[in-house]
Amino acid sequence: MSKYEAVIGLEVHVELKTKTKIFCGCPTEFGAEPNTNVCPICLGLPGSTGVLNKKVVEYAIKAGLALNCEIAGYNKFDRKNYYYPDLPKGFQVSQYDYPIAFNGYLDIEVNGETKRIGIERLHIEEDPGKLVHLGETITVAQGSLIDYNRSGMPLVEIVTKPVIHSGEEARVYLEKLKQTLEYTGVSDVKMEQGSLRCDANVSVRPVGSEKLGTKTEIKNLNSFRAVQRAIEYEIARQIDVLEDGEKVIPETRTWDENKGITLSMRNKENPDYRCFTEADLPPLDVSREWVEELRNSLPELPDARKKRLIEVDGLPEYDATVITSTKALADFYDRTVEKYKDAKTVSNWIMGEFSRLLNANNLEVSETKVTPDGLAKLLGLIENGTISGKIAKQVFEEMFSTGDDPAEIVKKKGLVQISDQGQLEGIIAEVIANNPKSVEDYKNGKEKAIGFLVGQVMKATRGKANPGMVNKLLKEKLDQI
């Protein structure tokens, strides 16, 4: 046991999936040509005044509800003042003392144990523009270029209580947060596109101490793995500093993915943000009716859905976890089970062939042509003996890329299973005649030799022979010799 305990809090910024920005009608699309999705409002030109996007409020409330938060009735917005070139107005509009959602939680599972991660607050704010530094890093750059397309994109910032104690817990929490928000549909939550961004506050203290140690903030965490590794590195670094009798410096550090270390970026100067009410935006009263309406519009969330798959459909916990990992996969499963009742078989196919093909082709569920209806029909063809399970995999691969009906594929490619006893007996007789060595092995008690002979029959029929019948008939024939 270590003498030290780590205390971690995460601040996560999530870009909301609205069509337009938070205070103006500019598009929020990702990857547009620089400075083309801008207008006087998001450029902060003098005299311009924004109007709050209703959808932003709805999405923030939905996110808050999905994270088990209370929703504030009275809301106002504040100006957080600081100078940085990506912030055209010289202030960021945020919610300083009245966050729209607060006091929530997410339950995570680490090492088979459930742990509740408290969520302090969730508030609405605007994103600044994007900087491109002309040089290796910001400190040696000759200058910077600014693209204001991102300026005014709607964000929610979600802040945990300081209740996380390891890099692993932090990663699992972040994965759960992504999964939950993905279900609500309020964000794409893609770390690689920056619609999910995470900063970590890390401190260590002697075990048993009540007082929090000095914390550092880690930025540039671009993947779930980076979150875990950076935190683990930072905990070890801080313990080393304390063991050497020195003090942890409160500072912002950046994660260097290649070197696997955190580096000092800047001392945490006491920023004087002079937050005060943004008087250009009137206050926002969120009625209880509105909150309930939004609560009712939420889909079944991951925990509830997993529970249903275990308790109602009878799936093993492992299957239910994998199937509910994304809403798209869970929807695919549910819609297949509507048409083909054997839940475990559906689950096996989704976790097996379907996931394998998704990974191999680097595709999302929505990008494939295969439908739940198609999978259900395919499983029907196996069940009624038209095709073998092995051939079905071949058919499924075809469905995956073309979306064709499985029965059509089977017909077109002549894949119907050979279950005709006479036909199979003929092939088996040939295989026995051509493989005297294996037959002899089998007769001498080497039972495994039958596997080779079955393989030869399958080969001769290009996989179409009914495997159950082949096994049975082959055994009978061999025993007669």
Partner 1 sequence: MKITMQDVEHVALLSRLELTDEEKEEQLVQLNKILEAMEVLNKVDTSNVEPLTHVLPLKNVLREDEYRDTLPKEKVLQNAPDQEEGMFKVPRII
- What values do phi and psi take at 76, rounded to 5? -140, 170
Q: Which is nearest to 110 in space by CA: 228, 278, 205?
A: 228
> Among the candidate windows 133-141, 233-241, 292-300, 425-433, which touches partner 1 by CB under 8 A?
133-141
Question: Distance between CA 65 and CA 67 in Å, rounded?
Answer: 5
Contacts of 320 (CB under 8 A, 6+ apart): 306, 307, 309, 310
**In which element (H, E) is residue 92 found?**
strand 91-94
> Among the candidate windows 33-41, 64-72, 106-114, 217-225, which touches partner 1 by CB under 8 A?
33-41
464 binds partner 1 (CB under 8 A): no
Per CB under 8 A, the list member of 5, 11, 27, 239 interacting with partner 1 is 27
Residue whose CB is less far from partner 1, 76 or 219: 76
Residue whose CB is less far from partner 1, 59 or 354: 59
Task: Compute the least distance from the CB of residue 250 to partner 1, in Å.
Answer: 18
247 binds partner 1 (CB under 8 A): no
Task: Compute the least distance from the CB of residue 265 to partner 1, in Å.
Answer: 9
Per CB under 8 A, the list member of 84, 209, 360, 401 interacting with partner 1 is 84
> Among the candidate windows 282-290, 298-306, 308-316, 362-370, which touches partner 1 by CB under 8 A?
282-290
Q: Which is nearest to 146 in space by CA: 44, 220, 50, 56?
A: 44
57 binds partner 1 (CB under 8 A): yes
> Among the candidate windows 14-22, 250-258, 412-420, 466-474, which touches partner 1 by CB under 8 A?
14-22
Task: Compute the least distance from the CB of residue 76 to partner 1, in Å.
Answer: 5
Angstrom CA distances, 60 to 41, 66, 70, 77, stand at 22, 10, 12, 14
Q: Are strands 251-256 and 216-221 parallel, antiparallel or unpaired?
A: parallel
Question: Distance between CA 252 and CA 199 in Å, rounded?
Answer: 10
- On the CB side of 208, how many CA atoms lie within 13 Å of its CA? 3
Residue whose CB is less far from partner 1, 26 or 375: 26
Contacts of 362 (CB under 8 A, 6+ apart): none
Task: Compute the least distance from the CB of residue 127 to partner 1, in Å.
Answer: 16
Q: Which is nearest to 67 in space by CA: 295, 290, 367?
A: 295
Question: Distance between CA 407 and CA 448 in Å, rounded?
Answer: 35
Q: Are strands 91-94 and 78-81 parallel, antiparallel or unpaired?
A: antiparallel
18 binds partner 1 (CB under 8 A): yes
Per CB under 8 A, the list member of 2, 144, 361, 401 interacting with partner 1 is 144
Task: Compute the least distance from the CB of residue 315 to partner 1, in Å.
Answer: 38
Question: Distance between CA 18 and CA 1 in Å, rounded?
Answer: 48
> Among the candidate windows 207-215, 224-232, 246-254, 266-274, which touches partner 1 by CB under 8 A?
266-274
Q: Which is nearest to 215 in space by CA: 199, 197, 196, 198?
A: 199
Per CB under 8 A, the list member of 1, 31, 47, 83 interacting with partner 1 is 83
Per CB under 8 A, the list member of 266, 341, 344, 369 interacting with partner 1 is 266
114: which 2 tokens?
């459930």
Per CB under 8 A, the list member of 36, 264, 267, 402 interacting with partner 1 is 36
185 binds partner 1 (CB under 8 A): no
73 binds partner 1 (CB under 8 A): no
Per CB under 8 A, the list member of 7, 63, 148, 381 interacting with partner 1 is 148
**In which element (H, E) is residue 353 found?**
none
Residue whose CB is less far from partner 1, 54 or 462: 54
Q: Which strands sit side by side in the sheet containing 78-81, from one edge to the other?
A: 91-94, 78-81, 276-277
Per CB under 8 A, the list member of 105, 110, 118, 131 interacting with partner 1 is 131
Q: Which residues of 282-319 are buried (b: 16+ CB within 10 A; e: fewer)?
A: eebebeeeebeebeeeeeebbeebbebbbeebebeeeb
138 binds partner 1 (CB under 8 A): yes
∠ CA 200-201-205, rounded to 5°: 135
Per CB under 8 A, the list member of 47, 113, 210, 279 interacting with partner 1 is 279
Task: Compute the least distance from the CB of residue 207 to partner 1, in Å.
Answer: 38
Coil, helix or strand at residue 17: coil
143 binds partner 1 (CB under 8 A): yes
* Radius of gyration of the chain measured on its C-alpha atoms: 30
Per CB under 8 A, the list member of 7, 12, 37, 200 interacting with partner 1 is 37
91 binds partner 1 (CB under 8 A): no
> Among the candidate windows 79-87, 232-240, 437-445, 470-478, which touches partner 1 by CB under 8 A?
79-87
Residue whose CB is less far from partner 1, 130 or 205: 130
Per CB under 8 A, the list member of 252, 277, 325, 461 interacting with partner 1 is 277
Contacting residues toward partner 1, per CB under 8 A: 18-20, 24-27, 33-40, 43, 51-57, 76, 81, 83-85, 131-132, 138-139, 141-148, 266, 272, 274, 277, 279, 281-285
